[in-house]
Each structure stands twice: as structure tokens, then as C-alpha cells.
């Protein structure tokens, strides 16, 4: 913030002379005289009048000096706040993700982040991946967490986690499996043919969980006769907990699922197929240290728990 004009005028007000003010400002007296003449001409009013050897502010000049002093105080306050932003002591981080992520992933993450950066405010936005990418490109967001491909060349994309499809069953249904589950690539795995006659709870299109679940049906070579759409993953898992069917979820979602009745989750479908979660931000954007640390915390939290530690609830 440059207040050169106000600084010159305040110096004239303090010293009451061109000579004293010029010495304080480290400029020549003629330079300061030219500045004052041009300013008064541009404003159409005299700001200082000569009284003997002194420069005395006119009524307009006194009003100017009052405002200039207020501006100087505002600049000092701004400079102090700016230094806090530069050091990372203060700031605002606009983060976008899908609603389910905002509900379960970010509260603990923000708590850990603000233990390190108490002066940084994190504002969360939830929307569709397409809308989030547009908001990021337009500068409304600083970063997004997405499970959809990001192809915009102006965005920098960093994969952080590979998510796997799971099927959730209630305790009574699990007891009837008779050990049909097996281990696949160090993960407890269930062939969907074992439960193909069950009622499946599934999200509507175009949710990524729906698409990957349909791929799992194809991988198992089945065409379930009983499929019911639900509005969200948690609802499907709750119905499964009541032994009313089987619900599709993702590994990273199930780790946050909680319900009074026990459930068990198995990996299903093609073990090589997964959903990639990525962090994206603008390539040309300034990335402050606190944003880098936020992204590192996000990576750690996405990776800190594997589904195999959450078989029984």
C-alpha cells in the first residue's frame, strides 16, 4: 500500500516548512515544492499558506491532514496484518470436496491443522466434482479433493490415495456366509456370486460408487434381480446393518461409518480396479506454507487407516 502523497503532506504538517519536510523525506526542497503546487492545482484548493517563514495548513489542509493521518494508521494496521499473512500466522483457505468428505474427513483434519495454524481460517465448500473444478479454475477455491479425473491444463493435480470398493453386510448375513470370503492381495475379499440373490443398495448414477459397483457385477458375471437405489452411502450401510440387504461403499467411507448394530465390510469386484483421490490447485497460484502443510495433513489422514483394520464393528 503506497501512501507517498499522504506521507509528504504529513511531513509538511509536522515541520511547517519545505526545508524540514524535505530533509525528513530525503528529497530536495524544489521537488517537494513542485509536489505541493501540483497537488493543490489538481484539488482546486489551497492546502497550505505562508505565514512568515512557516507553512500553515488551511481549513482544507487541516481536513486533509486528519484524513491522511487516519490513512497512515490504517496502513500501519494493514502492514502488521500483511506480515502475519506473509509469515503464515493469518490467512483463509478455501477448500472444496464432496459433501460426504466434508462431513467425515475434514473435522478432525481441521482440528489438527488449527493446532499448528490457529490464525488460518478454513472454509469448506461441497458440490459436485465438475462444479468444484470450475470454482477452483475461477479462483473461488484454493484447492479441491476429488475422485474424478482433472484434465484442465491450468490445474496441478496430485494423486494421494487409491480407494477400493466394498460391500457391507449385517452380522446375521455374515454368519451365513460359511467362510466364502477369501484373501486377495492382502485384503479380505468376497465373491459377489455368493450374495447375488441379496437385495443390493446402490447409489444412483452418475455417482462413482455406482459405476464401480456395476463394474463389480460385470466382473463377477452376475445380473442381480434385486437392486434398490438409496440417496447416500450411509443409509445403505444402515439398512445392511439391519440385515435388510447388502450395501456398496468405499474403503475410505466405511472407516467413518458408525451404527449401533455390527457390520462387516469386504472388498469386492476387480482387485486391480480402484478410485483415485487427488488434490488439485491452480498452477500459477501462490501456495503459502500453511496450504502445503494442509495438503500434507490431508494426505496423511487419507492414508492412515486401511479397511482391513475395520472388518468387525
Domain map (residue ranges) of the chain:
4-87, 91-162+275-309, 165-267
For 165-267, CATH gives 3.40.190.10
Q: What is the pLDDT of residue 284?
A: 84
Q: What is the pLDDT of residue 287?
A: 86
Q: What is the pLDDT of residue 83?
A: 65
Q: What are phi and psi of 199, to 5 degrees?
A: -85, 125
Q: What is the pLDDT of residue 38?
A: 94
Asked if the 4-87 domain carries CATH number 1.10.3720.10, the reply is no
Q: What is the pLDDT of residue 313?
A: 43
Tell which CATH architecture fits domain 91-162+275-309.
3-Layer(aba) Sandwich (3.40)
279 closest CA partner among 148, 154, 164, 165: 148
C-alpha distances out from residue 125 to 103, 145, 289, 311, Å: 11, 11, 21, 31
Q: What is the pLDDT of residue 181?
A: 63
Local structure of 102: helix, strand or coil: helix
Query: Which residues are registered as beta bridge partners of 282?
Result: 155
Q: What is the pLDDT along the chain (313 residues), one digit of tens a residue?
A: 788 899 999 999 999 999 999 999 999 999 999 999 999 999 999 999 989 889 999 999 999 999 999 998 888 778 767 766 666 667 889 999 987 766 677 888 899 999 999 988 999 998 888 899 999 988 889 999 998 888 889 999 999 988 889 999 999 999 988 766 666 555 688 999 999 999 999 999 888 889 999 999 999 999 999 999 999 999 999 999 999 999 999 988 888 888 999 999 999 999 888 888 899 999 988 788 889 999 999 998 887 654 444 444 4
C-alpha grid cell, residue 113: 491443522
Q: What is the pLDDT of residue 186?
A: 56
> What is the rounded CA–CA span in Å between residue 209 and residue 170?
20
DSSP calls for 235-300: HHHHHHHTTS-EEEEEHHHHTT---SS-EEEEE-S-TT--EEEEEEEETTS---HHHHHHHHHHHH
Q: What is the pLDDT of residue 271?
A: 85
Is 91-162+275-309's fold the same as 165-267's?
Answer: yes
Amino acid at each position: 500500500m503506497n501512501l507517498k502523497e499522504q506521507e509528504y503532506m504529513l511531513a509538511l504538517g509536522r515541520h511547517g516548512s519545505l526545508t524540514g519536510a524535505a530533509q525528513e523525506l530525503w528529497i530536495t526542497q524544489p521537488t517537494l515544492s513542485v509536489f505541493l503546487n501540483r497537488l493543490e492545482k489538481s484539488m482546486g484548493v489551497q492546502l497550505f499558506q505562508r505565514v512568515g517563514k512557516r507553512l500553515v495548513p488551511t481549513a482544507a489542509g487541516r481536513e486533509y491532514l486528519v484524513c491522511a493521518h487516519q490513512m497512515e494508521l490504517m496502513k500501519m494496521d494493514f502492514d502488521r496484518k500483511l506480515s502475519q499473512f506473509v509469515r503464515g500466522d493469518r490467512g483463509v483457505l478455501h477448500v472444496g470436496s464432496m459433501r460426504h468428505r466434508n462431513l467425515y474427513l475434514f473435522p478432525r483434519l481441521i482440528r489438527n491443522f488449527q493446532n499448528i495454524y490457529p490464525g488460518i481460517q478454513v472454509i469448506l465448500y461441497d458440490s459436485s466434482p465438475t462444479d468444484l473444478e470450475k470454482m477452483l479454475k475461477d479462483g473461488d477455491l484454493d484447492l479441491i479433493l476429488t475422485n474424478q479425473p482433472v484434465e484442465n491444463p491450468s490445474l496441478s493435480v496430485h494423486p494421494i490415495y487409491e480407494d477400493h470398493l466394498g460391500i457391507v453386510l449385517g452380522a446375521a448375513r455374515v454368519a451365513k456366509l460359511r467362510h466364502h470370503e477369501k484373501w486377495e492381495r492382502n485384503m479380505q475379499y468376497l465373491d459377489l456370486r455368493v450374495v447375488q440373490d441379496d437385495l443390493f443398495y446402490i447409489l444412483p448414477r452418475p455417482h462413482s460408487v455406482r459405476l464401480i459397483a456395476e463394474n463389480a457385477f460385470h466382473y463377477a458375471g452376475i445380473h442381480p434381480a434385486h437392486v434398490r437405489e438409496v440417496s447416500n452411502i450411509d443409509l445403505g450401510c444402515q439398512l445392511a446393518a439391519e440385515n435388510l440387504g447388502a450395501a456398496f461403499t468405499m474403503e475410505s467411507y466405511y472407516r467413518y461409518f458408525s451404527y449401533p448394530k455390527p457390520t462387516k465390510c469386504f472388498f469386492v469386484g476387480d482387485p486391480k480396479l480402484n478410485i483415485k483421490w487427488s488434490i488439485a490447485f491452480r498452477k500459477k497460484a501462490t501456495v503459502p506454507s500453511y496450504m502445503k502443510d494442509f495438503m500434507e495433513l490431508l494426505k496423511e489422514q487419507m492414508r492412515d487407516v486401511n479397511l482391513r483394520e475395520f472388518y468387525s464393528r
